[in-house]
Amino acid sequence: MTFPAGFSASGITAGLKASGNPDLALVRNNGPRFDAAAVFTSNRVAAAPVHWSRQAISDGRADAVVLNSGGANACTGPEGFANTHATAEHVAAVLSVGSGDVLVCSTGLIGEQLPMDKILPGVDAAAAALDTGNEFDGGAAAATAIMTTDTVSKQAGFAGTGYSIGAMAKGAGMLAPGLATMLVVITTDAVLDAPQLDAALREATRVSFDRADSDGCMSTNDTVILMSSGASETTPDIAEFTDGLKGVCVELAQALISDAEGAAHEITIRTFNAATEDDAVEVSRTVARSNLFKTAIFGQDPNWGRVLSAVGTTKAAFEPDELNVSINGIQVCRLGGVGDDRNLVDLTGRNVLVEIDLNAGIDEASLWTNDLTHDYVHENSAYSS
């Protein structure tokens, strides 16, 4: 988070989690620029902090982001929105910035009010921690404080030509576009205005977070924020910046899938020779959401029939007798029929590559998902933050 110049971060324990683990993070843009962009969940049942932050970011500026785990503040009505507003106002007062330039993110259990008697003192503690210790430790502490069912914190970075990008993310369940059940804060010291940041961010999320699909369930709180301090005094080539941003987002999206709740396999589904990129995305996503396919991979069964049956439900252009499917390099389906011996497929490792050849064009797209396991059911039958 603090790899780019001009940012400070902290993560502290405010007492929101019964576990006593860190649960409140603060990221501050120290300038000299405060350009920003963000994308949010497309879930119509959006959490209070999503509504607040959508409004706050509309002018393309953000001075700080406060994030809490231990409670989603979703489906909490007017009181929940008032609590988000109060949190932003408190951060603004402590940091001497405008409340309309403070973004708020929350994650955790839906349908419970946040304990403001813990949140507000937590903001004070997080603000005090911004100016103490090593800045890189502050970034790591922030990444830890936003974890819920995550087993590891998630950070990524990119060193560009005279500028840098840093990021943190959380997410381990309800991973499905739009975005995923994620909170992501990305920082850069490049000199870029808000429209440039917005265009780059949307292109990056399109091929990263929007293609991480663990369980087909869309969160109420998804937020991805990109802030620029301009502290490097470097205006980058926008194509290079966008590519670097894509790389950071892809790395984090894959980290989310790697840490998905209960997962025993990380699965890449690549659909190629498609008539359009949209066709390739639709096919890959449909297979990724097939519980029959996901349980087969968990059982180390290369059941390619479950792949074909899922492909057949899509609107993608293809001829059934021209489909090919390979699993971990073994072409188990050839021209819509039996291919190589399925017993040659090795699924004992964690990584699985499924390749679907539509023989209908030249476009392709990959999605990342995971298998469906007993542990996933157990974790989500008694969720707590």
148 carries a ligand binding annotation: yes
282 carries a ligand binding annotation: no
CA distance 331 to 343: 11
* H helix intervals, the chain: 48-56, 77-95, 116-129, 135-145, 194-206, 238-258, 277-288, 291-298, 304-311, 374-381
Cβ within 8 Å of residue 289, ≥6 positions away: 176, 213, 216, 310, 369
Cβ within 8 Å of residue 79, ≥6 positions away: 113
Active-site residue (options: 144, 181, 271, 286): 181
229 carries a ligand binding annotation: no
**Could you tell me the two tokens for 336?**
């819509």
Q: What is the DSSP letter of 343?
A: G
313 carries a ligand binding annotation: no
61 beta partners:
35
255 contacts 372 by C-beta, under 8 angstroms? no
What distances in angstroms separate CA 350 from CA 100, 104, 258, 296, 382, one per listed residue?
Answer: 45, 36, 9, 14, 26
| Nearest alpha-carbon partner for 19 in 170, 150, 169 | 150
Q: Which residue has the tokens 């003192």?
A: 121
Query: C-alpha angle 295/342/286, rounded to 5°?
Result: 40
CA distance 335 to 240: 40
135 carries a ligand binding annotation: no
Q: How far apart are the first and last CA of the chain?
A: 23
Phi, psi for 47 (deg, rounded to 5): -75, 160
41 contacts 218 by C-beta, under 8 angstroms? yes
224 contacts 182 by C-beta, under 8 angstroms? yes
328 carries a ligand binding annotation: no
Residue 151 bears catalytic tag: no
Residues making up the annotated binding site for substrate are: 148, 170, 181, 261, 380, 385
Residues making up the annotated binding site are: 148, 170, 181, 261, 380, 385
Residues marked active site are found at 181
